[in-house]
Amino acid sequence: MGRYFGTDGVRGRVGDPPMTVNFTLRLASSAARVLAPDGGTVLIGKDTRVSGYMFESALEAGFTAAGVNVLLAGPLPTPGVAYLCRRLNADFGIVISASHNPYEDNGIKFFDRHGDKLSEDEEAAIEALLEQPPVTRPSEELGLARRLDNAGTDYQFFCVSTVPPEADFSGFKVVVDCSHGAAYKVAPRVMAELGVDVIPIGCSPNGRNINRDCGSTHPNLLQSTVKGVGADVGIALDGDGDRVVMVDAGGDLVDGDQLIHILAVAAHESDALRGPVVGTVMSNLGLERSLKERGIDFRRAAVGDRNVLAMLKECGGHIGGETSGHVIDLARTTTGDGLVVALQVLAVMEASGRSLAELAGRMPRFPQTLINVRTATVFDESSADIGRAVRAVEKRLLDRGRIVLRPSGTEPVVRVMVEGEDADEVAAAAAEIAAAVRSAFGGD
């Protein structure tokens, strides 16, 4: 990661560096010089945070001053911006969003003309120019800005087009939780267009309620609503619509690992799966073992959708993602798309005649315990005490489980994850390693 760019663009607390208007203006000017040095077009979308207005204005000013034309899409899911970059032949795209974070945060994500994340070299080149004052070209060279009236409709048509034409969703009753975020209009409309009996929740954004007690990070409301209205399935998106988790008719959560399993197995059974399936070091061991039992190659990338995407391209795969619900299907999109993934799962349900619970139940889940240890000093995994604790647990688990020990990339936290066949053994092992981390590096 660079000085400002993290695992997914620039992100932080609104009003604190770097999420200030002044920084955003300089960021736009720097990006213009790197991504469109001779002029061009940038597409800008956003989620529903109240701070999106000021960052949108700052970006518009910076780009037009640098001679770049601006297309303003308004509230639009992140994958919608990636799609429209390709469709509209924009030179690059920007999403103003902090994804699943609370409204007090915001961020700026970039896509290239193909709807892919920027390379690390491109991010480094933008960062190298940030200390320079913003560029203002002569009046005859300034960029123009205009709002797109049909951005949401165009993305809606795309989502519908990813569903097999023979699929009939008219028998489904679905609750859709849009997290008061960017998909609050398009997701219910897509479902209605496909004949779904749709019940929308989390679709009343006020600028300050995005992700609050709803959406993919807080699915309790969705779980109770699905059971209360007798729905077949529930769909929970996050604030910018690139993640999804689902809920079966009994109110049980179906996470990203299970969604990956459903899509991969269905593709394999129809001879449409190409290359390995890619998860992360945090993906449940049940996903790996179940796929391998079916003859499907499974590989693990480092945490982060950027790493999953890079491995998919490297090994020629097209399905992968994270437990959190950031699922990628390169056969249909260039980035994680919560709505498109949910539609593909509904298509599998319809074609197979199986409920979501039946499909999810085909993947056994190994008990996992995750402990976040907040450290007082910088984590160093070469610590002898931690090494002894890890080796002791490995000796007990043998091949019946695994350990993941990694520092967070965004906060002074070490994530201790232990997974195995026995829940009590796993919990005790995670506590043992977490205690060693606390002893070596302080914290709680």
- CATH number of the domain where residue 427 is located: 3.30.310.50
> What is the number of domains present in the chain?
2
Q: What pLDDT, on a 0 to 100 scale, did the predictor assign at position 205?
A: 98
Instruction: Tell me whether residue 378 is in a domain.
Output: yes
Q: What is the pLDDT of residue 8?
A: 83
Give the domain extent around 393: 368-441
- Look at residue 191 and tell me if it is in a domain: no
CB-based contact 2:123 (threshold 8 Å): yes
User: Per-residue pLDDT for the chain (444 aa), expressed as one digit of tens each?
Assistant: 568 998 789 999 999 999 999 999 999 999 999 999 999 999 999 999 999 999 999 999 999 999 999 999 999 999 999 999 999 999 999 999 999 999 999 999 999 999 999 999 999 999 999 999 999 999 999 999 999 999 999 999 999 999 999 999 999 999 999 999 999 999 999 999 999 999 999 999 999 999 999 999 999 999 999 999 999 999 999 999 999 999 999 999 999 999 999 999 999 999 999 999 999 999 999 999 999 999 999 999 998 889 999 999 999 999 999 999 999 999 999 999 999 999 999 999 999 999 999 999 999 999 999 999 988 776 766 678 888 999 999 999 887 889 999 887 667 788 999 999 999 999 999 999 999 998 888 766
Q: Whole-model pTM?
A: 0.93
Residue pointed to by tokens 């993305």 = 155
The answer to whether 56 and 18 are in contact (CB under 8 A) is no
Tell whether 393 is covered by a domain. Answer: yes
Domain C-terminal end among 149, 168, 185: 149
Instruction: Write down which residue in 93, 117, 149 finishes a domain.
Output: 149
Of 29, 97, 99, 216, the active-site residue reads 99
Distance CA 60, CA 70 (A): 7
Q: Among the three residues 149, 166, 184, which one is the final residue of a domain in this structure?
A: 149
In a domain, 110, yes or no: yes
Give φ, ψ of 372 to 5 degrees.
-95, 115
373's CB contacts (< 8 A; 6+ apart) are 413, 414, 415, 416, 434, 437, 438, 441, 443, 444
Question: Is 198 part of any domain?
Answer: no
DSSP 33: H
130: buried, middle or exposed (CB in 10 Å: 19+, 13-18, 0-12)?
A: middle
Does some domain include residue 280?
Answer: no
Contact between 7 and 118 under an 8 Å Cβ cutoff? The reply is no
Contact indicator for 340, 328 with CB cutoff of 8 Å: no
pLDDT for the residue numbered 192: 97
Whether 224 is catalytic:
no
Q: What is the pLDDT of residue 4?
A: 93
Alpha-carbon gap, residue 381 to 387, rounded angstroms? 8
Contact between residue 25 and residue 62 where contact means Cβ atoms under 8 Å apart = yes
At position 225, the amino acid (one-letter code) is T
Rounded distance, CA 122 to CA 111, Å? 11
Instruction: Report if residue 132 sits inside a domain.
Output: yes
CA distance 303 to 15: 28
Q: Report the C-alpha gap between 86 and 95 in whole angstroms.
A: 15
Phi, psi of 119 (to 5 degrees): -75, 165
- In SS3 terms, 211-255 reads as CCCCCCCCCHHHHHHHHHHCCCEEEEECCCCCCEEEEECCCCEEC
Tell whether 284 is covered by a domain: no
